[in-house]
Amino acid sequence: QVQLQESGPGLVKPSQTLSLTCTVSGGSISSAYYYWSWIRQPAGKGLEWIGRIYISGNTNYSPSLESRVTISVDTSKNQFSLKLSSVTATDTAVYYCTRSDNAWGQGTLVTVSA
Amino acid sequence: QSALTQPRSVSGSPGQSVTISCTGTSSDVGGYDYVSWFQQHPGKAPKVMIYDVTKRASGVPDRFSASKSGNTASLTISGLQADDEADYYCCSYAGSYKVFGTGTTVTVL
């Protein structure tokens, strides 16, 4: 059974870049059958789709975040990553990684504050 | 892009049925047969219940059903149970990305 685990700094300063990694276990990230996505949720608010990557390297991003987001994959480590640049307090949220929006990590809280 | 519109809350007594609507546009809900529904209990990660408009995810009881008409998708929970009390989100493909609904809190009275 596939499991996903987010990791990265829990505190990021405004204007800096948020970087998170999702480690996949119990399955290969190299499967062409799936895509790997990031979704976030501010406290007490709804879900926001950030973007996804296929093992081919093709990516899709939310238009509202596209200018600041990069998602990449490292098959040698069975991991994929999220980078969000120029963060502000509005980027404070629980960030989830998923496999095809089906299997989810437990989520990690990232707070943007000086 | 705008979030899909869902009612803020719906409620029902145990055993009753409730329906949650999810309204978008012809660029998302109405344009593709790729609507999913997620259930989220407090403090937990969301869980997919329905995908591709009507297909139940593995292990999801048949009390959960879904449909779509035009730009509106719907999720129906029949035989409401206490554990169904949660937040529900719809999600639609929108051409090259996905968009979530605003979320609906289901309360079991």
Chain B hits for A96, Cβ within 8 Å: 45-46
CB A23 within 8 A of CB A79: yes
When CB atoms are compared, the residue of A47, A51, A106 closest to B100 is: A47
What pLDDT does residue B1 have?
A: 74
Tell me whether residues A47 and B45 touch, CB distance under 8 A: no
Chain A hits for B36, Cβ within 8 Å: 101
Strands A69-74 and B9-12: unpaired
When CB atoms are compared, the residue of B40, B57, B97 closest to A49 is: B97
Interface of chain A against chain B, CB under 8 Å?
39, 46-49, 51-52, 60-64, 96, 101-102, 104-107
CB A60 within 8 A of CB B97: yes
Interface residue of B97, B100, B102, B105 to substitute, partner A, most A CBs within 10 Å: B97
Digitized pLDDT (tens) for each residue of chain B, 109 residues in all = 799 999 999 999 999 999 999 999 999 999 999 999 999 999 999 999 999 999 999 999 999 999 999 999 999 999 999 999 999 999 999 999 999 999 999 999 9
When CB atoms are compared, the residue of A51, A61, A104 closest to B46 is: A104
Instruction: For B44, name the nearest residue in chain A, comparing CA atoms only.
Output: A106
DSSP label at residue B101: B
Phi-psi region of A91 (alpha: psi -120 to 50; beta: other; left: phi over 0): alpha
- How many Å separate Cα A19 from the centre of its chain? 9
Chain B hits for A46, Cβ within 8 Å: 3, 89, 100-103
Report the distance separating Cα A10 and Cα A7, nearest Å: 9
Interface residue of A47, A58, A60, A71 to substitute, partner B, most B CBs within 10 Å: A47
What pLDDT does residue B98 have?
A: 97
What pLDDT does residue B82 have?
A: 97
Digitized pLDDT (tens) for each residue of chain A, 114 residues in all = 999 999 999 999 999 999 999 999 999 999 889 999 999 999 999 999 999 999 999 999 999 999 999 999 999 999 999 999 999 999 999 999 999 999 999 999 999 999
